[in-house]
Chain A
Amino acid sequence: MKISFPYMGVPFVYKKVLELLGHDVIMPPRPSQRTIDLGVKYSPEFACFPLKVIMGSYIEAIKMGADTIVTSGGHGPCRAGFYGENHQQTLKQLGYDVDFIVFDGWRDNIKRNIQNVRKIKGKNSIFKVYKIVRLVYQMLQVVDSLEMRIQTLRAYEKAKGTCNKIWDAIQRKLDEVETKEQLEEFKKYFYDQLDRVELQEVAPQEKIRIGIVGEIYVVMEPSINMQIEKVLGDMGVEVRRSQYLSQWVEHNMIPFKKTHEDEILKKGEPWIEISIGGHAKQTMGHIVDYKQQGFDGIIHLMPFACLPELISQGIMPKISEELDIPVLTIPLDEQTGLANNLTRIEAFVDLLKNKKNNQHKTAVIA
């Protein structure tokens, strides 16, 4: 069995779990133009953008020798719920013989999940599996907290690119971590590295914080969202995003836990009452949450043809006005042009600076 998985966020972590369980892992390549081209070519035209990119990823992984794909199922009534099936069928039609192991959220389909765990766990005892999952969960927590620091520091670093280099190193080094002790060391080492990043002095009223919300795949995967976090960081903006892997694991993999996401869902309730699939409700909840935390603005990433986010987009003018927080919606698909969106993002940051400083007629960034 040669296992692969969708590329999203910090994929080294998925690789880690599978390797620790003793599987042969095929690491999918980071989505590139080629991935997107492949995905677009072989997906239904009206499918949403993430489905297409992931399709491309699968094809690439299969060509590298993968015969089994582990993935998560989507929530609720939007198309994400059929991702697994859709991919499977298309790949079959293309003549690829692959097995799919689709994990749903714990709460959604306990029976299937137990079957899946059996398949994945191989000869390992349940206890060992538990230990591995726990270690990896701890790894995710460390990585997420490092990343959040980077999302802040990047805005103020003296030498542009310093944080990006550290972040690359973090992802690479993560691959070598196999025990709790190594994780501790890893954590100490990189916290230290980040402490040493030289920073510019920026007056508090000049600091801008933006929360990135929207569908999980485009929010989490820099290679298809124009690396928006880096772009904003280089403009001197601090960012946070609505999804972090450790939170996802908490919410989807750990039964009965009251999670951050439950809270977010509650905050989204007044805006979208029922679950409409995808992450639309979370999108609303996160906007409320970011406002409460004093963020200056929201960037809403919406994959083209994503139904739930289309609905949330419709609510944006209202929530933006009522909460008094500016929102910029950016639709993403295979034709997304960076130049155009850069203009939008730049203008949006100007707008936020103006709003914050009020006294200037125009924001001038040197």
Chain B
Amino acid sequence: MGKIFIGIDVGSVSTNVVAIDLSGNLIFENYQRTNGQPIASVKRGLGELKKEYENVEVLGVGATGSGRQLAGVMVGADIVKNEITAHAVASIQEVPGVRTIFEIGGQDSKIIILQDEMVVDFAMNTVCAAGTGSFLDHQSERLGIPIEEFGDMALTAQKDVRIAGRCTVFAESDMIAKQQFGFSKAEIINGLCQALVRNYINNLGRGKKLEPPFAFQGGVAANKGIVAAFKREVGPDITVPEHHKVMGALGAALLSKEYITQSKQKTTFRGFESLDMEFTPSSFDCTGCSNQCEVIKVEADGQVIAMWGDRCGKWTNSL
């Protein structure tokens, strides 16, 4: 019977579940689209894990991502951490000596600067789509080229073409113009990759010293065209870690391992059986005062297990 730690990363685009062994090696990973249903996707991910590892003992669980709080109460996580710390922790293990982390996901992107394995600076973009994966998704649709082929195709480009990457709207009209000038699809795609990277670095890297070695992670790191564009922009010392898609979840698992080992606590994991429970999140507008907070309530089998979102603590403390 093996012993494992579990990490869960619930983002708006994907939900990732990983398991690590006692030495921190990743032994299981599962990547799912969240599709607006975080609870169902966490259940599915954990279900897959259970199928593969019937009799394991779970020593600890960590949750991260924008849905970390919900995932945390649902599974009974030992530690709930923000994505920045989680990503950094995973990178430090997977890319020795890493100084700068580029992370580009479907809906947001970050830059994390480290020194002696410590986060010393970071920036996060969640407002503008131009520096994220959805920018590429959108363009691949327009051009009728599956996103999986995007990267390889970009690498075949013969000439450089500069495409305005400030925002998706400009990029689109610029792209059409460049197509009409006679640039090939490969060249346009390559131009798009470069535009995304330029834009990402301008937005997030402003005022920061970007030192190698670099790690590049997140769903977009699978795209060779983007990797090439990064190399062109910052130099060759850039590593795409093997588990680049699930680094947040890996970090959460590592954090739970560290926490359990240091505190010698027993895990608060509800067990795989909890997957059969019915979780219902709901929200209501409190009318207690002029704040009118939107309060989130989570019920498990009809019993309220968590509430948050109230500014005064009236609901959070009522449990």
Contact = CB atoms under 8 A, between A and B. Distances in A.
Contacts of B79: 364, 366
A325 to B, nearest CB: 12
B82 A346 contact: yes
Contact of A347 (B122, B311, B313): B122
A350 B118 CA distance: 10
Where chain A touches its partner, the secondary structure class is helix
Contacts of B207: 314, 316-317
A30 interface: yes
B312 A350 contact: no
Contacts of B121: 326, 351
A33 B313 contact: no
Contacts of B254: 362
Interface residues of B, number: 33
B83 interface: yes
Contact of B255 (A230, A355, A358, A364): A364
Interface string A298-341: 00000000000000001011000000001000000000010110
B172 to A, nearest CB: 24
A227 B317 CA distance: 17
B292 A351 contact: no
B206 to A, nearest CB: 8
Where chain B touches its partner, the secondary structure class is mixed
Size category of the binding interface on chain A: 20 to 34
A361 B66 CA distance: 23
A101 B92 CA distance: 59
Contact of B292 (A32, A337, A339): A32
Contacts of B88: 362
B313 A363 contact: no
A351 B118 CA distance: 7
Given A317-B207, A326-B120, A364 B290 contact: no
Interface string B213-233: 000000000000000000000
Contacts of B89: 361-362
Interface stretch (B14-22, B40-48, B256-264): B256-264
Contact of A160 (B124, B126, B313): B313
A344 interface: yes
Contact of A361 (B117, B124, B311): B117
A164 interface: yes
Which of A33, A354, A358 counts the most B-chain CB atoms under 10 A from its CB?
A354
Given A340-B126, A366-B259, A347 B208 contact: no
B160 to A, nearest CB: 31
A362 B255 contact: yes
Contacts of A316: 207
B129 to A, nearest CB: 15
Contacts of A138: none
Interface in B251-284: 254-255, 258-259, 262-263
10 contacts: A29-B290, A32-B291, A34-B290, A160-B313, A230-B311, A346-B84, A347-B82, A350-B82, A361-B117, A362-B254
Which 9 residue pairs across A and B have the least CB separation, nearest first? A347-B84, A317-B207, A346-B82, A32-B290, A354-B118, A343-B82, A161-B313, A347-B82, A350-B85
